[in-house]
Amino acid sequence: MPGAYRQLKHVLFGRPLPSERLEHERLNKKTALAVLSSDAISSVAYATDQILFVVGGAIGMMAIGYVIPISAVIVGLLVLVGLSYRQTIFAYPNGGGSYTVAKENLGVSPGLVAAAALLTDYILTVAVSISSGVAAITSAYPPLAIHTVSLCVVSIVLLTVVNLRGVRESGAAFSIPTYAFIVMMVALIVVGVYRATMGHELAFLASPLKVDPTSARHGAAIMSPLTGFALFYLLLRGFAEGCSAMTGTEAISNGIQAFKQPAQRNAATTLTWMVTILAAFFLGVSYLATHYAVMPTTDQTVISLLGRHIFGTGFFYYALQYSTFAVLVLAANTAFADFPRLAGILANDRFMPRQFSARGDRLAFSNGIVTLALLAIVLVIAFHGNTARLVPLYAIGVFVCFTLSQAGMVIHWMRSRERGWRRRAALNGLGAVATGIVSVVQIVTKFTEGGWIVCLIIPAIIWVLVAIHRHYTQFADDVKFTGHSPILPLHHTVVVPVNGITKATAGALVYATTISDEVVAVYIEVDKRLTDELQRTWEEWDIGVPLVVLPSPLRSILRPLVEYVDNLRMVMPGELVTVVVPEIVPKKWWEHFLHNKTALYIRTAFMFKPNVVVVAVPYLLGHAYRLRDMINHDDETDVVATA
């Protein structure tokens, strides 16, 4: 690695860290809540929007009447899933990710389904959270909207750099965005509800956004242009989209090891807090959206509209938008911890390339981080940073994981038969059935809206994981060594292609005679006129190495050499042949063009030949040192001694 590149790397990513720095900071409940629940809580920034987009797209302002019922069903589901995960916390004290729970209890195949779904969802977490965070900013500053994609890409790149430096889950700094967001949301809901119930409407409420809330609320059922199954299906779609509020719920049960002792109890308490906050915020936003009859547009999010409405466009409004952006960036950041960690676990299980299991200079799983960032950037660009178009892809994988994880827990309880296993299995079973049904609803209702992409990608990922696993298993089998005896050397001929008597060829010949007693120099004759001269000087030189001349009527250097070596191995089966080639190493880049890459071509030509090894002996041009010319230099004094 050249010095300048290394320096740049150190400035950007910091100096390498030794492995012992890989310790784990334990978090108290308050900090853990901030660190682990940003993904879940921040979902309120887009879930209500998404219900209104989908239902409102079909029936307009009538949609507002359905927001509270749909939200209530989702909150019910959330509580059920929360209770289920409380049980996982106590069953898997080391952290029960869906992949682990599904693999251990249901088998490898369901485990891989969970893994593929999780990988997909981590990528979508980044894409959705960042695009939604950027939407919070562009809602506050509408002229920035045309730069949406650039802002998303820049945010992802910054997150990548920060994570390559190796972010520790060091609570303090991370708590700020989450608690700021919590404070601003509480303020929004309290002030909003107070005004709504007090009928305390001020002048600015006469904005064009305002429609008569009563008629909207009551009119929905009466005036809806859809009836029967069509309406039911529409509401089901709205529900499916709103379920994006539940993404991130599993984070606490995955991260038990981050808690101070008693870890399980603390984690369970924190999970309860998180579910309570998320449920309250989600219902609160949905209530306010209904009461103030706001419809999100491509320019303005629901929270931004409510903020402008309730706070006015002043300090509190901007604080709300900035804290929304910050908590969403933090949500994206959790995927930057989770994706590489899962990729590392999969790499250790030989389902992903082993490069994903190596920690980089800064102890981060660098390859996983960069892969995640690149895929998220592709998604953001492909969907123009449009949250509303990204969310339909989201949540499908999350619910598949919920289902597999809880089904796994049912098996876990049935196997363990510990006290209360029936009750616990029943709760997890109920969770599994509910989330299973929601998974099907998700796939069916969102299929044409982009859900088909996820339905293609998850099987494709599984196929790749399996192919990689098959390769590594075969490879391990292939290289497994079961012999126990000492190693015996082979009989060994060394072939040195020469094109004249130079220091470079002399270096190669020194090396050749060092590694074997049987050395042959071969000369590829392209032009007959030069052969006699070489043969004469070769005999004069008298180094005890025979010179073989191989005519090459087609002027190829490689073909006669390959044929000669093949012949050697035919005559003496089992013979080991080494081809020693001098490799000219120029000092300046452009000098490479002035020398044939013969060493490279020869190495490639013999790559797939058994029992042939090609050695390139570097000859350094213009350097003070070079492969020591260990020849008796009777009449030569200018050779630099090697220190």
Under rule CB under 8 A, which residues in 533-592 are in contact with its own copies? 540-545, 553-556, 573-574, 576, 578, 584-585, 591
Residue 150 found at the interface with its own copies (CB under 8 A): no
Give the span between the Cα atoms of 231 and 289, in whole angstroms: 21
Give whichever of 203 and 478 is closer to its own copies, judged by the CB atom.
478
If one counts every other C-beta atom within 10 angstroms of the C-beta of residue 190, the result is: 12
Least Å distance, CB 348 to its own copies, is 11
> How would you label 19-39 residue by residue, b for 16+ Cβ within 10 Å and e otherwise?
eeeeeeebbeeebbbbbbbbb
Least Å distance, CB 76 to its own copies, is 45
Least Å distance, CB 361 to its own copies, is 7
Give whichever of 196 and 510 is closer to its own copies, judged by the CB atom.
510
Give whichever of 251 and 584 is closer to its own copies, judged by the CB atom.
584
Q: Which residue from 382, 411, 501, 520 is in contact with its own copies, where contact means CB under 8 A?
A: 501
Residue 529 found at the interface with its own copies (CB under 8 A): no
Residue 480 found at the interface with its own copies (CB under 8 A): yes
Q: Which stretch binds its own copies (CB under 8 A): 43-51, 59-67, 134-142, 475-483?
A: 475-483
DSSP H or E run through 77: helix 64-91
Q: Which stretch binds its own copies (CB under 8 A): 236-244, 280-288, 428-436, 486-494?
A: 486-494
The DSSP result for 177-201, as a single string, is: HHHHHHHHHHHHHHHHHHHHHHT--
Residue 594 found at the interface with its own copies (CB under 8 A): yes
DSSP H or E run through 584: strand 576-585
Bridge partner list, 580: 615
Q: Phi and psi for 294 in degrees, rounded to 5?
A: -95, 140
Give whichever of 298 and 514 is closer to its own copies, judged by the CB atom.
514
Give whichever of 11 and 607 is closer to its own copies, judged by the CB atom.
607
Three state DSSP letters for 236-293: HHHHHHHHHHHCCCCHHHHCHHHECCCHHHHHHHHHHHHHHHHHHHHHHHHHHHHHCC
DSSP H or E run through 161: helix 148-164
Give the span between the Cα atoms of 599 and 44, in whole angstroms: 62
Residues 101 and 88 sit within 8 Å (Cβ to Cβ): yes
Give the span between the Cα atoms of 401 and 458, in whole angstroms: 12
Give the span between the Cα atoms of 121 and 370, in whole angstroms: 16
Give whichever of 306 and 617 is closer to its own copies, judged by the CB atom.
617
- Local structure of 496: helix, strand or coil: strand
Q: Which of residues 613-642 bind its own copies (CB under 8 A)?
A: 613, 615-623, 625-636, 642
Q: Mention every residue, 6+ apart, whose C-beta is less than 8 A from residue 64.
A: 52, 56, 213, 216, 217, 220, 289, 290, 293, 295
Residue 503 found at the interface with its own copies (CB under 8 A): yes
Binding mask of the shown chain, residues 300 to 339, with x at each position contacting its own copies by CB under 8 A: ----------------------------------------
Q: What is the largest CA-CA distance in the chain?
A: 112
Q: Which residue from 272, 386, 531, 611 is in contact with its own copies, where contact means CB under 8 A?
A: 611
For its own copies (CB under 8 A), the number of binding residues is: 96
Give the span between the Cα atoms of 185 and 193, in whole angstroms: 12
Give the span between the Cα atoms of 92 and 29, in whole angstroms: 18
Q: Which residue from 353, 429, 436, 450 is in contact with its own copies, where contact means CB under 8 A?
A: 353
Residue 417 found at the interface with its own copies (CB under 8 A): no
Residue 462 found at the interface with its own copies (CB under 8 A): no
Least Å distance, CB 609 to its own copies, is 8
Least Å distance, CB 590 to its own copies, is 8
Q: Which residue from 3, 4, 11, 19 is in contact with its own copies, where contact means CB under 8 A?
A: 19
Q: Which stretch binds its own copies (CB under 8 A): 13-21, 103-111, 308-316, 390-398?
A: 13-21
Give whichever of 218 and 597 is closer to its own copies, judged by the CB atom.
597
Q: Which residue from 7, 12, 14, 16 is in contact with its own copies, where contact means CB under 8 A?
A: 16
Residue 448 found at the interface with its own copies (CB under 8 A): no
Binding mask of the shown chain, residues 58 to 97, with x at each position contacting its own copies by CB under 8 A: ----------------------------------------
Residue 513 found at the interface with its own copies (CB under 8 A): yes
